[in-house]
Structure 1
Amino acid sequence: MNVRDIKIFAGIRQFTDWWAGELRILVPRAMENWIGGGPAQVILRMGEKQTHLLLREDGEERELGECDLLDGGSDNFEQLRELIAQQLPKDAMVQIELPAHRVLTREAFLPIATEHTLNQVIGFEMDRLTPFTAAEVGYTCRMLERMSEQNKIRIELNIVRRDYLNDLLAGAVQLGLAVNAVYVGQQNGCVYESRDNLLPGDMRPEVEPLWSNRNRSLLAVLLLLIGLTVVFPIYRQVSSIEQLETEIASVSKDAGVVGNKKRLLIAHLEGREILVNKKNNRSAKLENIRKLTELLPDNTWVSKLTIDDETISMQGESLKSSDLIEMLEQEKLFKNVEFVSPVTINRSSNMERYEIRLQLAENDGGAN
Structure 2
Amino acid sequence: MNSATQTLRPQLDRVRRAWRGSPMPAFMAWWGGQLRALLPVRWQAFFSGGNVWCLLHHESGQWHARRSGQPQNAAPWSDTLDAPEQQAMLGAALAGVDRQDLRLALCLPPEGVLRRRLLLPEAARDNLRQIGAFEMDRQTPFRLDQVYYDLRPLRGAAPAGRIAAELIAAPRALVDARLEHLRNAGIVIDAVDLCEGDARLGVNLLPPDMVRAHRDPRRRLNLALAAAALMLLLLCLGQWLHNREEALAAMQAQVEDMRGDAQKISNLRKQLEESTGAAGFLARRKTDSVAVVDVLQDLTARIPDDTWLERFTVDSSGRVGLQGQSAKAAPLIDVLQSSKLITGANFQGVIQRDPATNKERFYMDAQLRTSNAKPAANGGTGAAQ
TM-score w.r.t. length of structure 2? 0.45
Whichever of the two has the greater Rg, that structure is 2
TM-score w.r.t. length of structure 1? 0.46
